[in-house]
Amino acid sequence: MQGSCDADHPKVQELRALSQWSEGQVWVSPERHGTITAVFKNQIDWLPLEDAGVRPTQGRTLAVMQVSGGSQSFNVVNALRVLGRWMRMVTIPNQSSVPKAWQEFNEHGRMKPSPLYDRVVDVMEELIKFTLLVRERSDYLTSRYSERKGDLLADALAKASGAVDAPTVPAMAPAITRAPGKASHADAPLRITDQAATATGN
């Protein structure tokens, strides 16, 4: 149970380390009373939005799936999408919902061949593709103007107070512009340039 032990518990540290290590994650939960299970939510609650300046889930790709004991539902995958967005993850468009899950697995716990199985494969393929697209770009994709602005202000205040010798100024997110003379053409090549931030924000 979240809060029942300290955050330095070995299993909590293992969970957070695995999240930081990962490039992509798959969240799967049964549907219980119309939403995700308490066990699943409790595990996610052990992952903080920020831990010592590091966001354990930010920028990771995410696939969401659910199983149901009865008719097909999308309550869980919808809830997982909200949760993934809150955890600042890149959630892929595709998803899977398996109804009457007790009929879809053999005695060895393997999913039987069916259109539902094919959909699970589709989701996993798409997760891999999106992970490859996001790889080495997650910092840029999740960089927020408001946070960069706050960092600049904090650096400026620290410098003014003498707390630091020189500000640590992060680079602004790259600006994407059209090549000169091509602004009116939809197929004109894009040019990406870095804009250095200043301590004043100008």
Domain with residue 128: its CATH number is 3.40.50.360
- Structural domain count, the chain: 2
Domain identity same for 99 and 178? no
Asked whether residue 39 is domain-assigned, the answer is yes
Amino acid type, 192: I
Domain identity same for 98 and 25? yes
Domain identity same for 102 and 57? yes
Least confident range of 29-38, 156-165, 170-179, 192-201? 192-201
Helix (H) or strand (E) holding 20: helix 10-21
Domain identity same for 176 and 126? no
Domain identity same for 59 and 104? yes
Residue with tokens 């992060």: 170
HSE-up of residue 190 (Cα within 13 Å, Cβ side): 7
Domain that holds residue 48: 10-140
Average pLDDT over residues 188-202: 42
Banded model confidence at residue 52, pLDDT cuts 50, 70, 90: low
Taking the model in full, what pTM does it have? 0.72
Asked whether residue 119 is domain-assigned, the answer is yes
Domain identity same for 103 and 15? yes
Residue 176 confidence (pLDDT) above 60: no
Domain identity same for 31 and 121? yes
E strand intervals along the chain: 24-30, 61-67, 90-98, 175-178, 190-193
Residue 133 confidence (pLDDT) above 90: yes
Domain identity same for 155 and 91? no
pLDDT at 148 (0 to 100): 85
Domain identity same for 67 and 16? yes
The encoded tokens of residue 137 equal 């770009």
Domain identity same for 19 and 49? yes
Asked whether residue 180 is domain-assigned, the answer is yes
